[in-house]
Structure 1
Amino acid sequence: MDVEFLGGAGEVGRSALLVNDSVLLDYGIKTDNPPQYPIGDVDPEAVVVSHGHLDHSGAVPALLRGSNRPPVHWTPPTRALALRLAEDTLKLHGNTPQCPFTETHVRRLTQVSETHGYRESFGAAGHEITFFNAGHIPGSAHVLIDDGETRLLYTGDFYANEKSTARGQRLVESTTARPEADAVITESTYHDVSHSDREQLEERFVESVQTTVWEGGTVIVPVFAIGRAQEILLICADNDIDCYLDGMATDVTRTLRQYPGYVRDAKALQRAVSNARFVTGKHGQRSRLTDKNTVILTTAGMLGGGPVVSYIPQIRQHPTNKIALTGYQVEGTPGRELVETGRAEFDGRVLPVSAQVEQYDFSAHADSAGLRAFLDSYQETPVVVNHGDDCAGYAEELADDGFAVSAPELGETLSL
């Protein structure tokens, strides 16, 4: 089996792997300025998408230009989320060189879409494909691809606890799937990070938010629309924290409620939705909310756009207020700038922030222990390290522990 790495090799973003010149695994966007897309011209016979995040599915509509009509295989939630992301990308970058597809390509995508549940094998370009729950976001999948000679497990992004008794995410169950494979391509995003104990992390977040509200402050909680927003909604509801939800996260939350079989507790998600008030943004609603001592969950998670850029300038000058970041802030983003300097750019203005700034690691990726807990099941299996800022370094670490491991470069082809 030959695998060509068109994106995601030695980097986080624009994941794309071409198997046997026929099956494309993921086709994402790297959200730089300008955005980056997978390298090379590709004309696959079939496309298989691991999950509905921008860096794995964001460029899929571009595969349907010209006469190309490859079938696109994914789980039902991944299909819905990817289409929602495509609509958002068109709003932001449509009719510019930064967007490689149009509304026409998105409509074509709905016509070639084929959905599959977990552990339901299907055929794609002469290969047998099976999805397994990856525990990352609703619908996320490990992809097992079998060409009749080699069984390759592509992990996609995944979340795994190193201990079965540890608290995982509230939104989705951690992955327990360990399908037999002849080779494994693993993500490595947090290979050198140890996540905080989840229960303790939640307790710190809840105590901080409640304290600020009790003291009369407003809490802005920047969230990623897919996964993180719903995770924080669940935490707020379970701790009787009244909150508002704003931005693309409102549509995504409504979408995910349509797929109860892909979340950990559909009733809990319903309670969380009932606990929150959705913001429409009409008639000056956002401006009025900042005058309340309340909690506002809003996109974007790294402060790079969305309603959050209207909220923070209004609450930034008061030390009683708080900005509670809920995930990693990529270098070069306003969120990273705010953490490091106490100021950030909003709508073209660099503004100092006197409000308190806190950061919480609610990651949906496996950390160093979670990765090893997963890979220990494949100690005798060749492992390929992908989707990380230091793939080569992690490969060396695994090699020292006896793994047969490699870390391909962008554009490289491996025979597995």
Structure 2
Amino acid sequence: MAFENLLPISDAVIAHSALLHEQSLFNQIRLHTRQDGLPNLSELQIAIIGVRENRGAADTQETLIDFAPIRKALYRLFPGNWHTVIGDLGDLEAGDQISDTFYALQDMVAQLVKNNVIPVVIGGSQDLTYALYRAFDNLDQMVNLVNVDGCFDLGDSSLPMTHKSFVGKIIIDQPYNLFNYSNLGYQTYYNSQEEIDLMEKLYFDSFRLGNTVSNLSSVEPVMRDADVVSFDLSSVQSEVLGGMHPEKVNGFNGREACAITRYAGLSDRVSVFGIFEYLLAGNTETASALVAQLIWYFIEGVNYRMTESLTDRDTDFLHYNVPVDDELLSFYKSTKSERWWIEIPFLEGVNNKLKRHTLLPCTQEDYENACNQEIPERWYKAKRKNEI
């Protein structure tokens, strides 16, 4: 079993945390230690895994990866009024080949997802997202991937995969499980015009950094439709990370980054969450504190999920039909959470895996714009992908 290959949390981290407050996370999380072994996976709802792999970052000379600073920062935080059972399963050591690491991570994530445990993966290079995506190969569903990143990471898919081209590999490699890819916080000067045009051609969603920051609540419906969320730490301002990615002078600040991960946690659908591009550079203590808080806010979101059944829309939902040009747009508003969805026409016989995508999360603003004869862009793109 793949979990048996995980390295336990170091004795030094355990000893450092032993004197923390009795209500700290250290005393709430079930830990994989050398003395006690792995926690009972069947009892967990969230499982934290470190992955010591960064060979996909071709421009990074660093080989050592140590998540001890993150764990020390996380363990000393206090939980909210949480009911979720959390486990820290320790670290996956890099394999002899990078493909070995990918296979082991894919296997672990697939087993956790099948058992309704949410993996929180800390990396290493962001191409590890490919393994998170491949974990869905044997599950009967298409996958929506959200990448919080200044770059699209499409790259040149004809070359060996790196942390700058893993999305391109996801798009072209079989089996084809990807339904939608959304990028949050892209910065135009980091992406070629060819990549920007390709995003439009494939009807993928992209949100510029400035637009995302000015309307942070627009992140919520994107996350609500996600299965896998990959957070690149280089999307955060370098100074906020203590200089970890010195070339990234622009990006999200700490509050914005935490709000984004909380939206990811709140999503009823997000079943895999990853934070990548953690380097032992700059002020590690500052960067580790932020990563710990990103994880904290994700867990906080999970605790406040409002699981709503959209199969029976006659009881807890208000229904609005809005004619726009030749289309009749069908909106649903939850009377419980006041969240909105818009229906996508489903083409029978095209792809049975798409049935779960017949309702697309949206905002009240989308409904109001439709009333003013403006078709929501995300609805149009989702409809076109369904028709292809």
TM norm. shorter chain > 0.5: no
> Could you state the TM-score of these two structures normalised by the residue count of structure 1?
0.29
What TM-score results when the alignment is normalised by the length of structure 2? Answer: 0.30
* Structure with the bigger percentage of helix: 2
Higher RCO (CA-CA < 8 Å; seq separation 6+) = 1
